Chain A
Amino acid sequence: EPEVTQTPSHQVTQMGQEVILRCVPISNHLYFYWYRQILGQKVEFLVSFYNNEISEKSEIFDDQFSVERPDGSNFTLKIRSTKLEDSAMYFCAIYPGQGANEQFFGPGTRLTVL
């Protein structure tokens, strides 16, 4: 089963600060995704990334958010100026693209904005 790691596991930041969340897919993938889950709520799609560029983004993914692949393996989600309502679990997921339509999730980063 494909694996995905995420760092940090927990990030605490002050409102207005920039945060960078990191994800490292252990295995090959075709698509890469970031999702958000506010505590007690359902998982929400943020953005999908294919062929080194954004393929689709949700209305949540506004100008405060950006995704990058800085070194060819890691993926990052940057929030430029965090707001209190950005507090959530952030998951990255991969779609291996090997005949099945399954997405595999990382363990998540818990972001707390104070």
Chain B
Amino acid sequence: GQQLNQSPQSMFIQEGEDVSMNCTSSSIFNTWLWYKQDPGEGPVLLIALYKAGELTSNGRLTAQFGITRKDSFLNISASIPSDVGIYFCAGQKMDSNYQLIWGAGTKLIIKP
């Protein structure tokens, strides 16, 4: 089946540092989505990418849809304590069911 490889698995950073995480796949997706999940809650959509090469920002977050349609990255600039959580990438299958294939998540921990 289709798989997404998300890295890193976890990150320990200082407040104010920039963060970068990425997802790769052997399969082509027509949409890439980045979600954040806080403990005990459902995933919340951060950024949606629809076109190869697309670069989209949402505040301090920036994400890009790779040219090959097989990868995407998410950057967070000047991290703050509320950025703590698990970030998931999700690729949307190229069929009519819009099913999402998920990465394993990147856990972001900010050192005090």
Contact = CB atoms under 8 A, between A and B. Distances in A.
Interface of A: 31, 33, 35, 41-45, 48, 50, 55-56, 91, 95, 100-108, 110
Contact residues on B (Cβ < 8 Å of other chain), bracket: 20 to 34
Contact of B33 (A45, A56, A102, A110): A102
B43 to A, nearest CB: 5
Nearest to B104: A42
A9 to B, nearest CB: 9
B102 A42 contact: yes
A110 B40 CA distance: 8
A56 B100 CA distance: 12
Interface of B: 30-31, 33, 35, 40-45, 48, 50, 88, 90, 92, 96-105
Contact of B97 (A50, A105, A107): A50
A43 B33 contact: no
Nearest to B45: A102
B104 A103 contact: no
